[in-house]
Amino acid sequence: MPTKVSNTNGQTFQKVPTSNANWKMGEPQKILSGKTLTIEPNNYTSSQLHQFLLGSFPRPACIISTISPEGISNAAPYSFTNLVCSDPPTFSLTVFKNPDGSLKDTQVNIDASNEFAVNLISDWFVESAHASGMNCSPEVSEFEHVGFTPKPSTIIKSPLIAQSPVNYECKVSTRIPFINKEGRETAICYMGEIVRIHVNEQVFDNEKSSFLYENLRPLVKLGGSLYAKVNTVVDPTQNSSTSSTSSSSQ
């Protein structure tokens, strides 16, 4: 039976059984009946392939905040992002160049400061989070433009977003440029070591060292302008057939 938990706003978070809770070890599971389409990346334009990859691979929804040498705060949603290591704790961020080849404000600011902040997106501020992706001149702060409340960092200079329940302060440890088949640099990947984490007590049980997902209400970025709410979870280790063979996720 589904386990339902309501948060302080009355929204329901469910823990439900897996789709095939009676699965037995070694038993083949479902394969879709449709025809497999084989895709050759070189037959796609860079824009088409970009959208295909974004649509096929859900990712953490987050906003990267930086600060310019002139002290202008910048914030923008990024989806080529993820945790890549826990020792040292490291976050990856890929920043693409603008269509005309110019650099985004995020890259300019990171290159100047060697730092950035990662702010998790929860569903209570998705409107302003998505709006922060609009093009603004370097002299305009997205914080003021969309209504983010700045919160000071404790190690880096980049401001944090107070609306976000989890913030990571990162210092750049590695830069990896990406070169396409025409020999043109299209993007750069930053590896940022997480030097400090801030988490709201309403979303994290410090005694149990576990997150309260019914309060965290994180979003997952899909293709285009779509996001998915994380309000239902499954735990395969709770199935009787798999509980004795489960292992932690790598």
Nearest CA-CA partner of 108 in 143, 137, 147:
137
Give the pLDDT of residue 18. Answer: 83
- Helices of type H across 118-227: 126-131, 142-146, 213-216
Q: Is the pLDDT of residue 236 over 60?
A: yes
Tokens 């370097």 belong to: 138
Which among 23-32, 82-91, 206-215 has the top mean pLDDT? 82-91
Which residues does residue 93 pair with via DSSP β-bridges, in sequence order?
81, 190
140 pLDDT more than 90: no
Match 């009676």 to its residue by tokens: 22
| Domain annotation covers residue 66 | yes
Please tell me the distance from the alpha carbon of residue 171 to that of residue 222, in angstroms, as a whole number: 27
Go through 9-47 and write b for each residue having 16 or more CB atoms within 10 A of its CB, e for each that does not: eeeebebeeeeeeebeeeeeeeeeeeeeeeeeeeeeeee
Q: What is the pLDDT of residue 16?
A: 83
Q: Is residue 17 part of a domain?
A: no
The answer to the question of residue 176 being in a domain is yes
CA 172 – CA 135 distance, rounded (Å): 25
pLDDT at 76: 96
% of the chain at pLDDT higher than 70: 91
Residue 12's pLDDT band (boundaries 50, 70, 90)?
Answer: confident
- Domain annotation covers residue 76: yes
User: Residue 50: exposed, middle, or buried by beta-carbon count in 10 A (0-12, 13-18, 19+)?
Assistant: middle
Residue 98 CA to residue 95 CA, distance in Å, equals 9
Task: Assess whether pLDDT exceeds 80 at residue 245.
Answer: no
User: Looking at the predicted structure, is the pLDDT value of residue 169 above 60?
Assistant: yes
Say if CB 55 and CB 223 are below 8 A apart: yes
Structure-token pair, residue 70: 């002139």
Could you list the residue range(s) of the whole structural domain that residue 71 is in?
58-205
Overall average pLDDT of the 42-49 stretch? 91
- The torsion angles phi and psi of 199, rounded to 5 degrees, stand at -135, 135
Instruction: Check residue 25 and give its pLDDT.
Output: 87
The answer to whether residue 38 sits within a structural domain is no
Q: pTM to 2 decimals?
A: 0.88
* Count of CB atoms situated within 10 Å of the CB of 223: 15
Mean per-residue pLDDT of the chain:
90
Res. 21 pLDDT band, cuts 50 70 90: confident
Residue 3 has pLDDT above 80, yes or no: no
The full length of the chain comes to: 250
Average pLDDT rounded to a whole number, residues 38-55 = 91
Strands 12-16 and 3-6 come out as antiparallel
Q: Structurally, how many domains does the chain consist of?
A: 1
> Is residue 35 assigned to a domain?
no
Does 77 map to a domain?
Answer: yes
Is residue 45 included in any domain, yes or no?
no
Q: What CA–CA distance (Å, rounded) separates 194 from 172?
A: 9
Question: Quick check: 243 and 237 in contact, CB under 8 A?
Answer: yes
Which among 19, 141, 13, 16 has a CA at the least distance from the CA of 75? Answer: 141
pLDDT beyond 70 at 44: yes
Cα–Cα dist 172/193, whole Å: 6
CATH number at residue 130: 2.30.110.10
Greater confidence (151 vs 55) lies with 151
Report residue 87's pLDDT band, with 50, 70 and 90 as the boundaries: very high
Q: How far is 172 from 118, CA to CA, in rounded Å?
A: 12
Task: Average the pLDDT over 77-101 and give the result.
Answer: 95
User: How far apart (Å, rounded) are the C-alpha atoms in residues 163 and 119?
Assistant: 9
